[in-house]
Structure 1
């Protein structure tokens, strides 16, 4: 069945937007299945650059229906800001569908996120402060607000009251902040209802019917595998499941309907926020990767931490997601290095470890074991086929493929939509 999952195989920011956009013209639906506006995709179309945070990348592909699934948390103000920005640039956003079961990021979720992170001090997680975690916590605690609740003022008021009972105690007695008024929150949320309504749908039904009709559906994860709440570098993770299993729960589609799982890998490694990062560089090479790769967070504006490619993480991503293919991005950024280190294993307490450590303590103490591959100096941004690449660049890709455990089916050689080498079709 023509259902594909496309997700980040590192710590996010691998270039999922470019990959999704590449496929967008060939698929009927593109679905965000988790996360919120803490994710960021930069998509370059011709000489136009688009920064998307909440909307599926497929919204830029005419003929494609973009869907925000039930597993996503939605900040209506951010949603409308993004829609307005795209409309002003001539992008048709009328086909967007939003699950009525998606949870709403309320003003008090944002407040709690910011004051809690500040309170943690040096133990902070490195959240974006956009209310994502508290909204998922409300969901699990069964005091969350869903999109559908905006159409029943009585239910909405009761739910906001229930949520604020505990949160106002926390804000006033622990954080010394003013209590938040129920009526003010309800009024703000109701103000979004009319504009949201044309987009709201039973997306689970829509997507399953589409698959029954042999439509092509692409499920797009935000963040990356190592930020997964269950399978990432906990507690320095996001609050949802970007891994492949999250597509099933976050969109309401059974696992037997998924035919291909594509992992996006950057040709080196980056990370935003706190947490362990074995190959992180603090020297001129790290600064060069940051500068050449334009490594600044689309959503946060923070500089990304940069390091060499980590094959241990790639193998882990292959296993935990059941990856069938890789899309390797930003190979062009590595042009100019005489030799390129690749992390093939870790050293932990004097022992060589070739798989991701199960223990958080071990991972914090992991030191990279490098192999050094010859680099290249030729410009590769005009390459249209694998054979157009310099031999050393070809060998680098082949080595990463062998180390990572799944075939590399496409390679990004530049930021543009057409700057991609397709080795094997994803469809």
Structure 2
């Protein structure tokens, strides 16, 4: 490898009109400042962290793609309000092959948490969403999504200051599609119930889902055309 002044190299590329893709390796809620402390890493994992890490100005950031799963997972300890320790949680882990890529530890699984997802979208200024592992939920008759938290007699739609309290997730239920998604190659081929799930998420999150993955192969990545962007 050739040693270079990477910050100069990247900024010169941007000035030439080239595209630079910066990929974050860890989830937003592991951010040392804004994550679920003390269950965090030692750096900033939100999108602004690339400015410090790469030496680029915030004004150089164009699109911010937020990658999330159609359900929720977590490795190791830490708060997880929507965690499922029943057969549905085990099904998600089994169908999703949910084991830590580095540690090999099994991931904890649960329903999608829109309170946490809205929070991370806000922190990183997400402009487009990418939904992964949609096919993991294929067999379920009912899909749940956490739209708010209840702590005592108070309801929270935003992330509360502390997650140490006994949090009761408030769910909205949607019909499952109960048909394999892994054979779909375009948005038009997706079942109506799944498309309804996508529309529900977009309405809740107020950010478009521009890419949907329905399997591990590159051909199972569906690019949605949104306002002539893709």
What TM-score, normalized by structure 2, do the two folds share?
Answer: 0.96
In structure 2, the residue matched to 1:253 is: 56
In the alignment, the residues of structure 1 paired with residue 59 and residue 225 of structure 2 have an alpha-carbon distance, to the nearest angstrom, of: 23
Matched-pair contact (CA < 8 Å) for 2:79–2:163:
no
Are residues 1:340 and 2:177 paired? no
Q: How does 1:186-197 map to 2 (within 5 A)?
A: none
In structure 2, the residue matched to 1:298 is: 101
Match of 2:10 among 202, 207, 214: 207
In the alignment, the residues of structure 2 paired with residue 216 and residue 424 of structure 1 have an alpha-carbon distance, to the nearest angstrom, of: 20
Are residues 1:386 and 2:187 paired? yes
1:271-306 C-alpha deviation (Å, 9 max, x unpaired) = 001110000011000000000000001111000000
**Once superposed, which parts of structure 1, at least 4 consecutive aligned residues long, lie more than 2 Å away?**
424-427
1:217 is paired with a residue whose SS is coil
In structure 1, the residue matched to 2:82 is: 279
1:368 is paired with a residue whose SS is strand
Q: Which has the higher helix share?
A: 1
CA separation of 1:424 and 1:241: change in aligned 2, threshold 3 A: farther
Q: How does 1:77-88 map to 2 (within 5 A)?
A: none
Give unmatched runs, 5+ long, in structure 1: 1-197
Compute the displacement of 1:311 (Å): 0.7
In the alignment, the residues of structure 2 paired with residue 292 and residue 207 of structure 1 have an alpha-carbon distance, to the nearest angstrom, of: 39
Matched-pair contact (CA < 8 Å) for 1:410–1:424:
no
Count the aligned residue pairs: 228
In the alignment, the residues of structure 2 paired with residue 279 and residue 266 of structure 1 have an alpha-carbon distance, to the nearest angstrom, of: 14
Q: How does 1:258-269 map to 2 (within 5 A)?
A: 258-269=61-72
Compute the displacement of 1:359 (Å): 2.4
Q: How does 1:305-384 map to 2 (within 5 A)?
A: 305-361=108-164, 364-384=165-185
Match of 1:242 among 40, 45, 64: 45
Matched-pair contact (CA < 8 Å) for 2:175–2:193:
yes
In the alignment, the residues of structure 1 paired with residue 137 and residue 155 of structure 2 have an alpha-carbon distance, to the nearest angstrom, of: 27
Are residues 1:221 and 2:49 paired? no
In the alignment, the residues of structure 2 paired with residue 261 and residue 292 of structure 1 have an alpha-carbon distance, to the nearest angstrom, of: 29
Matched-pair contact (CA < 8 Å) for 1:339–1:374:
yes
1:409 is paired with a residue whose SS is strand
Cα RMSD (Å): 1.3
Compute the displacement of 1:350 (Å): 2.2
CA separation of 1:229 and 1:424: change in aligned 2, threshold 3 A: farther
Compute the displacement of 1:199 (Å): 3.4
Which has the larger Rg? 1
1:22-72 C-alpha deviation (Å, 9 max, x unpaired) = xxxxxxxxxxxxxxxxxxxxxxxxxxxxxxxxxxxxxxxxxxxxxxxxxxx
In structure 2, the residue matched to 1:178 is: none
In the alignment, the residues of structure 2 paired with residue 405 and residue 251 of structure 1 have an alpha-carbon distance, to the nearest angstrom, of: 29
In structure 2, the residue matched to 1:415 is: 216
In the alignment, the residues of structure 2 paired with residue 424 and residue 391 of structure 1 have an alpha-carbon distance, to the nearest angstrom, of: 17
In the alignment, the residues of structure 1 paired with residue 2 and residue 34 of structure 2 have an alpha-carbon distance, to the nearest angstrom, of: 32
Compute the displacement of 1:417 (Å): 1.3
Which of the pair has the greater relative contact order for Cα pairs under 8 Å at 6+ separation?
1
In the alignment, the residues of structure 1 paired with residue 197 and residue 217 of structure 2 have an alpha-carbon distance, to the nearest angstrom, of: 22
Compute the displacement of 1:405 (Å): 2.3
Give unmatched runs, 5+ long, in structure 2: none
Compute the displacement of 1:367 (Å): 1.5
